Structure 1
Amino acid sequence: MSRLLAEVEADPQQFIPRASQPVWTDPETGFHRRGVSPPASGYMTEMVEGTLPPGAVIAYQAPPVAGLEHHLWMLSGRLDLTLDGTRHALSAGDTLRYRLTGGSRFHCPGPDAAHYVIAITRP
């Protein structure tokens, strides 16, 4: 939805100060999402900073758009990311590149929060 709304912007911001970056927290899981470089007209990539609390799980049945290219960079903590049934155990400094074609599951095994950045590019 955020991408659709961004597409109507005639002249998207080039400089996005932290105070202008959209933030959302899921009340059920505590997942915190910051749109570091939110979707905008004329740009194919967005960047999202995510923080998933210890023990939290977020699962998606399918991607919003098949074939989205993701580059996930772990800043701190640990994250178990399952893509199409394959589990990837990520720690601080690790990067996982993938095309999102099916279900995904994010799990933070703890003991600290999983803090990461995802660059997402439309196909």
Structure 2
Amino acid sequence: MRFELDLTLDDLACRAGIDLATLSDIETGNVCLTGRFVRRLSVALGVRMVDLMLSAAVQSRVSPRAEQSSWRDPETAIVRRRLTPDGVGALTELVEIEYPPGAACDYRDPPFESTEHQVLVLDGRLELAIDDGASLTAYALDAGDCIHVPRGCGMMVSNPYQRSARFIVSISSI
């Protein structure tokens, strides 16, 4: 993606706030891409996080579960599965995420300026805090609960419970 934007490795490292050597290792596949770096790179490249986790895709209106792209963060063991069919140009992406017990991610820096999110808990329990820039509001979510995260807000997601939490995130471009 950086070649399409005519960015040098150094340019991207500066934009993303990632050490040049680490970014080089990520690009060459010497180290695994973690959730922490996916967030920074997606903002620096101006693309959605799920787009960084995909390989070249064939357009199809149907996304069979067996063919859905999934990615496991080696640092947190969080598993993300892209549900939206590849290559259809959807304005809303659906991602299924599984947080093992003790997993946590901070998605506040930078905040989501051009997307809004909805989170629907399918199984387990989840803690989610929304940061609107002025305050941080925490929510405890159970299976069946859905929460809206407005554009311009960041969020923190954690699973402090004894069993895994599985949820769907709807990411809408505005």
Distance 1:4 1:40, change over 3 A: farther
TM-score (structure 2 length as normaliser):
0.61
Distance 1:15 1:38 in 2: 6
SS in 1 for 2:166: strand
Could you tell me which runs of 5 or more consecutive residues in structure 2 were left unpaired when the two chains were aligned.
1-46
Could you tell me which runs of 5 or more consecutive residues in structure 1 were left unpaired when the two chains were aligned.
none
Where is the strand percentage greater, Structure 1 or Structure 2?
1
Question: What is the percentage of aligned positions where both structures have the same residue?
Answer: 35
1:36-86: CA deviations, max 9, x gaps? 1156453101100000011111112224x5141212110111111111011
**1:119 pairs with 2:170:** yes
Alignment of 1:51-62 (within 5 A): 51-60=98-107, 61-62=109-110
SS in 2 for 1:46: strand
Highest Rg: 1 or 2? 2
Partner of 1:87: 138
Q: Give 1:113 deviation, angstroms.
A: 0.8
| Larger RCO, structure (CA 8 Å, separation 6 or more) | 1
Which stretches of structure 1, 4 residues or longer, exceed 6 Å deviation after superposition? none
Alpha-carbon RMSD: 2.4
How many residues align? The count is 120
Q: Give 1:97 deviation, angstroms.
A: 1.5
Partner of 1:32: 79
Is the 8 Å Cα contact of residues 60 and 85 (structure 2) preserved in structure 1? no
TM-score (structure 1 length as normaliser):
0.84
Instruction: State the AA in 1 paired with 2:146.
Output: T
